[in-house]
Amino acid sequence: MPAAPSDFFKTERIAQEIKAELLPRLFEVWATTVLQQIPSPEVPLVFLDAQTGLDSDDTTPAALQLLRQVYKSTGSRVDLNKGISTLYYDADPSALVTLQRKVEQLPFYHDLIHLPILLSETDDDTLTAQLLESVQPDLAFLDPSLEGIAQQLLLSALRAGRTDLIMLFNPKLLEHAIRKAKANSLWHQFLGEGLEQVKTFYRQHKNTERREEYILNCFEEIFRRNGFLTLCFRINAPDKKQTSHYLVFTAKSNQVYLRLKELLEGYSDYQEDGVPLFGANLQQQQTALFHEHYQYSIVSLAQELSHSQAAYNNRTIQHIYEKHSTGTHYTLENYKVAFEKLMRLGRVRFINPKTGQPVSKLTTTSLIRYSAKV
């Protein structure tokens, strides 16, 4: 029996296990959400796995899980088989050969409307750039610490502004890649003048957590300036005070962002008040290393909402959650708890939208009506 999401990281996981567990789920949520917004795209949406070989030895590699999800949706209201095309890349040709063999053995292989495309390694950066320009994936999975197509994808996503990213990486390897980056490198194009600032910060600060936090903040700020929403999920090994991996996603759509965020809630550690930390195995050191996350608390949320009458009066809790929670750690359940706290204080009432009458039980369709004096 597979581990429940909340238990998955209680066992120490390597990158291939994390990918096999999370990527298929993230992909399905992303694809379903996007296709609900664009039911019949003129051309199929493109997903590119830029690290195909990572989990090729797994009993159920992500590539096969993804294709099974695509096939199973055939004929449904959200038909991934019609709407999604998949591409697979790895620097190791043998990984592609292995995947090709496994894919062609799938019993539903010939029922796939868009057969998976395998991309070969090229040493020519110009050819790689031309390939990405012609393909322009809508979603890509990559490790930004790897040279070649992964870093080209990172830069292309930023410049074109249309590719959502799911990034899984070891922070030590990312730091090593940035430390050795030259002035004419892709990292320089991505970070700009920030490359030297990051290197200077690395030299001046020996604390590993501070260096990790700094580069991740740089990453997120660059994407935010370019219109992306971002979320970072930190994964520690059990009983260890060091990061094993980060999972970072970037998305253009607020709905995609929220749905992916909601999926990761099931894997996260939580504060005592029920606000997720968006990380695994952080509890033992959360006060020491993650004190900044405590800006997200039920007390703070209730205070913010109590002063938001102009924006949220007579709105549903679902609407308020979708508008207010972006860029925070708050969940829909956190908003319920915060508003129930405000109701007990006499700051708000819950209104049945059909009858216009006050109700005592809050639902996602209940209207939040602020008191005259808040």
Integer distance in angstroms from the first to the last C-alpha of the chain? 51
Specify whether the CB–CB gap between 187 and 195 falls below 8 A: yes
Crossing angle of helices 332-344/298-306, nearest 10°?
60
Maximum distance among all Cα pairs of the chain, rounded to whole angstroms: 69
Q: What is the pLDDT along the chain (374 residues), one digit of tens a residue?
A: 345 677 999 999 999 999 999 999 999 999 999 999 987 888 999 999 999 988 877 878 999 999 999 999 999 999 999 999 999 998 888 999 999 999 999 999 999 999 999 987 655 555 556 666 666 899 999 999 998 889 999 999 999 898 999 999 999 999 999 999 998 899 999 999 899 999 999 999 999 999 999 999 999 999 999 999 999 999 999 988 889 999 999 999 999 999 999 999 999 999 989 999 999 998 644 444 444 557 799 999 999 999 999 999 999 999 999 999 999 999 999 999 999 999 999 999 999 999 999 999 999 899 999 998 65
Q: How far apart are CA 100 and CA 32, in angstroms?
A: 26
- pTM greater than 0.85: yes
In the numeric block, the tokens 């694809």 are attached to: 31
Q: What is the set of domains in the chain, with CATH numbers?
A: 5-293 (3.40.50), 296-370 (1.10.10)
Give the CA-trace dihedral at 253, 322, 72, 80, to 10 degrees.
-20
Query: What is the pLDDT, as a whole number, of residue 127?
Result: 53
Q: Token pair for residue 349?
A: 């009432």
Query: What is the pLDDT, as a whole number, of residue 295?
Result: 77
Query: What is the pLDDT, as a whole number, of residue 41?
Result: 84
Specify whether the CB–CB gap between 63 and 103 falls below 8 A: yes
